[in-house]
Amino acid sequence: MADRMGPILPGSYLGILGGGQLGRMFTQAAQAMGYKVCVLDPGSDSPAGSIAEKFIQADYTDSAALKEMAALCAAVSTEFENVPAQALDDLESLGVFVAPRSSCVSLAQNRIAEKKFLATWKSETNIGPAPYFVIEHDADLAQAPADLFPGILKTARMGYDGKGQATVYSLEELTAAWNEFGRVPCVLEKRMDLDFEVSALVVRGHDDAVVAYPVSQNIHRDGILHTSTVPAPSLKPAQEKKIVDAAKALIRKIDYVGVLCVEFFVLKSGDIVANEIAPRPHNSGHYTMDACVSSQFEQQVRAMARLPLGDTRQLAPVSMLNLLGDLWFEGSEDKAREPAWNKVLAHPDAKLHLYGKSAPRIGRKMGHINCLGEALNEARQNCAAVATELGIEP
Ligand code: ADP
Ligand code: MG
């Protein structure tokens, strides 16, 4: 019988459900520490599967595949937010240490459960979600409070990068949008007057140790993260403390092991609203790979291997620039080009990360660049200069 409490040491296999870029960077961090990695993904070729020691191509609910994974790995985590809870439960019942566990992952998979949870959590942290109303049946539409307009209708499940969302100004538009989404369960959220957006990144070990990274300030374009800058230029120290304390309270409250990201809105009024949680390392935390003592992926390895957590200290100001597939095209997808990496790398403080995806597509996340600087302004200027080299509007 394997030791279910002690550390899982380098040389062992760690498992990851999902083979995307988050799985790939997890794999790289684990391998750097001497672990072997087993990736399970339904696709035939995946960014993580192509570099892992073991790649199982199977559906997340394939019980033979999960058994094979359990036989190899003492611990498993997920990089794919919509992994079926059953897969995590099956692995746990096969004796695998699953971090984070399925109840935590499920919470983030359903916006209705997530908003409800965030609303309860407000009593402890004074940070709650934007006002919202659940729409599950026809009759709910007319009951939607008038003060939620203009609002954003969001599908309860499977939304990411702004997908499954529609801004609605009236009951008529709400009805049309809900029909458009196929009348699936949704939340209608009041559209808030945002000043800026930030995210907190916290990590909890199996022993209840909790550490937090500096909060990042995020700019989205077309619903997709564009840049993350740390330290957050617009955030006041008191706001940062409130956000970090709230995220630390949250990770303990749900008994979560691993890396957790919490997105917040800072409103023009100065109030703070909790938007959503991501039960895994997050795009807005990629800055940690070059700017901090321990990256978010190293922390995920440490947490799931029941090792002490690493130092989250930031060593240099940073601005992360996301690289989308758009860069590989001249306007439309029929005119291909190769981005000017030589020009990017002429900036010695620009750290390039590409995910090894087989084909670029408009809007697809292909990589990111962490632009460092001795001072925050320098990091931001570096980021703007690198963006300009690539033809991205800074
Ligand atoms: P996703 O799962 O796609 O990241 P989010 O709920 O985070 O969904 O929404 C994506 C983006 O849309 C947010 O980062 C923010 O810019 C904007 N947004 C979402 N909800 C609101 C809101 N209630 N008020 C104003 N802007 C919002
Ligand atoms: Mg989001």
* Ligand 1 pocket check for 219: Cβ under 6 Å: no
pLDDT above 70 as % of the chain: 99
> Of 64-78, 81-95, 292-306, which gets the smallest average pLDDT?
81-95
Average pLDDT rounded to a whole number, residues 173-200: 96
Contact indicator for 277, 114 with CB cutoff of 8 Å: yes
Average pLDDT rounded to a whole number, residues 301-320: 98
How many angstroms separate the alpha carbon of residue 13 from the centre of ligand 2? 31
Q: Enter the tokens of residue 255.
A: 């008994």
* Residue nearest (by alpha carbon) to ligand 1 atom 5: 162
Of the bound ligands, which one is closest to the alpha carbon of residue 222? 1
pLDDT (tens digit, 9 = 90+) per residue, 89-128?
Answer: 999 999 999 999 999 999 999 999 999 999 999 888 889 9
Residue 3 has pLDDT above 60, yes or no: no
- Best mutation site among 160, 192, 271, 275 for ligand 1, i.e. most ligand atoms within 8 A of its Cβ? 275
- Best mutation site among 107, 218, 265 for ligand 1, i.e. most ligand atoms within 8 A of its Cβ? 265
* Ligand 1 pocket check for 109: Cβ under 6 Å: no
d(C-alpha 62, C-alpha 69), whole Å: 11
> Which amino acid is present at 285?
G
Ligand 1 atom nearest to 218, measured from its CA? 14
Residue 309 half-sphere exposure toward CB, CA atoms < 13 A: 23
> Which amino acid is present at 77?
S
Banded pLDDT at 54 (limits 50, 70, 90): very high
pLDDT (tens digit, 9 = 90+) per residue, 320-360?
Answer: 999 999 999 987 778 899 999 999 999 999 999 999 998 99
Number of continuous H segments (helices) and E segments (strands) in the chain: 12, 18
Residues 6+ apart with CB under 8 A from 377: none
| Distance from the first to the final alpha carbon of the chain | 55
pTM score, two decimals? 0.95
* Ligand 1 pocket check for 298: Cβ under 6 Å: no
Banded pLDDT at 181 (limits 50, 70, 90): very high
pLDDT (tens digit, 9 = 90+) per residue, 249-279?
Answer: 999 999 999 999 999 999 999 999 999 999 9
C-alpha distances (whole Å) from 330 to each of 311, 327, 335, 391 are 42, 8, 5, 10
* Ligand 1 pocket check for 197: Cβ under 6 Å: yes
State the pLDDT at residue 1.
37
> Of 21-25, 80-84, 166-170, which gets the smallest average pLDDT?
80-84
Banded pLDDT at 160 (limits 50, 70, 90): confident
Mean pLDDT of the chain: 95
How many angstroms separate the alpha carbon of residue 111 from the centre of ligand 2? 11
Average pLDDT rounded to a whole number, residues 182-196: 96
Average pLDDT rounded to a whole number, residues 131-142: 96
Q: How is 1-14 classified by DSSP, letter by letter?
A: ---SSS---BTBEE
Average pLDDT rounded to a whole number, residues 35-58: 96
Average pLDDT rounded to a whole number, residues 306-320: 98
* Residue nearest (by alpha carbon) to ligand 1 atom 27: 191
Residue 289 has pLDDT above 80, yes or no: yes
How many angstroms separate the alpha carbon of residue 276 from the centre of ligand 2? 6
How many angstroms separate the alpha carbon of residue 161 from the centre of ligand 2? 6
* Ligand 1 pocket check for 161: Cβ under 6 Å: yes
